[in-house]
A and B are shown apart, each in its own frame.
Chain A
Amino acid sequence: MLARIRRFFARRGVLEVDTPLLGATVNPDPYVEFFTVPDGGRRHYLQTSPELAMKRLLAAGSGPIYQIGKAFRRGEAGRLHQPEFTLLEWYRPGFTLDRLMDEVAALLQVLLGERVAGVTTFTYGEAFREFVGLPWDAPLTALRSKAAALGIPDAERLCGDEQRHWLDLLFSVAVQPRLPASKLVFVRDYPACMAALARCRPDDPEVVERFEVFVDGVELGNGYRELTDVEEQRRRFQHDLRLRCRLGRVVPPLDRAFLAALEAGMPECSGVAIGLDRVLMLKLGCHRLSDVLTFPLQESS
């Protein structure tokens, strides 16, 4: 599989790069936990994805790049999660989100072969309406009663008054398992509250240019039309750091080197990360990540 990926990108003139796993800081995403590594009086951070480092390369003029490497996320363990996993991440200067989605589909079809027949695309709004029966921007009370009708216990305690928690819960429980099977399914145009590092749609600021790709309800990847506006990026990081602080989580230093690179100018581009262990799992017809890893950490479920 790795050889196939390298051939795919070699033919398309995408350069393989290798960025560090240990960094002086890490993406402050409020819901992605990281490992910290003490080193004398200093503290390093195991990277949760190579995103920020690769964007620094893009800003330095690397052109299109890809990387196959390990990523680490603390506390993620289950049938489809391991604290250490393999990510394929790539960036395409000049690509719209649609063009990148086409490339993702082409690669996944090479890797998954007969495991998938065809491609289906929903907007987040369409998927939500079809499988939850509500528009995603329905009032919280409607989302609440939907969760209750679906018999999801403890939803109130889990989600409180946070719209994005209610959306995530309903999406995980009601949408993902019902997406068409044995196909590549793209869900695109996420609500702005789930922007992460994606750009808002110029024609609709309620929605961000972000997609996720699923096979049999398993999320394989997450892609963005990348945010290049340094001020907006700084605001999002500050917001994330404040939220981490409020949630009582470790607050990493602001990544000034990354912001400086954005300030110097990152080309307009789209980028995506694919979980390769999950791709291999689906390709081989397995049901647990641990079935395809050489020496998995013990699962908790």
Chain B
Amino acid sequence: MATYSTNEFKPGLKVILDGDPCVILENEFVKPGKGQAFNRVKFRNLKTGRVLERTFKSGETIEAADVMEVEMQYLYNDGEFWHFMDPNTFEQVAADAKAVGEAAKWLKEQAICTITLWNGEPIAVTPPNFVELEVVETDPGVRGDTSGGGSKPAKLETGAVVKVPLFVQTGEVIKVDTRTGEYVSRVGK
């Protein structure tokens, strides 16, 4: 079992905390004048996304997590699992709804996603930062209104609903930022 000592802590290191894989976000070494040194550490739980803070005596060790991030292509959803493939090795993994989480609403076949694997099992799916998706349902826009601040909801082919400017019509393809869920632009066909 690999372990890391506090003096190896650095942002990005993947460890196991309370049984869950976590990544170190910040590590601060604190040494009171003549006192016992300690490390204040912020982690993100890779399964839940929650940020937590812990304190360690300097020299303490924690278990390393076998966590990898790999780029994989989204293949299909069989109703229960989302299937992804490594385009280089053709290896496939199946992620459940917990791992896919919010990413589900952006996933279109062929999209290249970042899959977080823990001991080879997918625990999180990050969609591409930008996706191009077709509008399948939105109210007809008001003619002539091409700029104004107005916006309306539009349903996309993957099921996501985003706010779009009034001039966007059903059948058009739009670019969306998946990190914010915001409309970016129209995409010419």
Q: Do A and B come from one complex?
A: yes
Residues of A within 8 A of B (CB): 29, 31-32, 75-81, 152-155, 157-158, 164-165, 167-169, 171-173, 194, 196, 212, 219, 222, 299-301
Cα separation A40 to B26 with both chains bound (whole Å): 41
Which of these binds chain A: B4-12, B116-124, B132-140? B4-12
Cα separation A173 to B55 with both chains bound (whole Å): 12
Kindly state whether residue B53 has any CB partner on chain A within 8 Å: yes
Contact B34 A300 (CB under 8 A): no
Contact A172 B29 (CB under 8 A): no
Contact B36 A31 (CB under 8 A): yes
Residues of A contacting B55 with CB < 8 Å? 152-155, 158
Contact A153 to B54, CB < 8 A, known contacts A32-B34, A300-B9: yes
Total residues of chain B contacting the partner, CB 8 A:
27
Q: Chain A residue with minimal CB distance to B29?
A: A78
Residues of B contacting A171 with CB < 8 Å? 32
Residues of B contacting A29 with CB < 8 Å? 34
Q: Chain B residue with minimal CB distance to A152?
A: B55
* Contact partner, B37, options A76, A154, A167, A301, Cβ 8 Å: A76
Contact B34 A301 (CB under 8 A): no
Cα separation A29 to B33 with both chains bound (whole Å): 11
6 sample A-B contacts, Cβ–Cβ < 8 Å, listed by A number = A75-B58, A76-B31, A154-B54, A164-B35, A300-B10, A300-B27
Residues of A contacting B57 with CB < 8 Å? 157-158
Residues of B within 8 A of A (CB): 7-11, 26-39, 52-59
Residues of A contacting B37 with CB < 8 Å? 31, 75-76
Closest chain B CB from A17 CB (angstroms): 24
Contact A301 B10 (CB under 8 A): yes
Q: Chain B residue with minimal CB distance to A299?
A: B10
Contact B38 A158 (CB under 8 A): yes
Contact A81 to B38, CB < 8 A, known contacts A75-B59, A153-B55, A154-B54: no
Contact B56 A300 (CB under 8 A): no
Cα separation A257 to B122 with both chains bound (whole Å): 62
* Contact partner, B29, options A173, A222, A301, Cβ 8 Å: A301
Closest chain B CB from A234 CB (angstroms): 19
Closest chain A CB from B27 CB (angstroms): 4
Residues of A contacting B31 with CB < 8 Å? 76, 78, 81
Residues of B contacting A78 with CB < 8 Å? 27-31, 39
Closest chain B CB from A169 CB (angstroms): 7
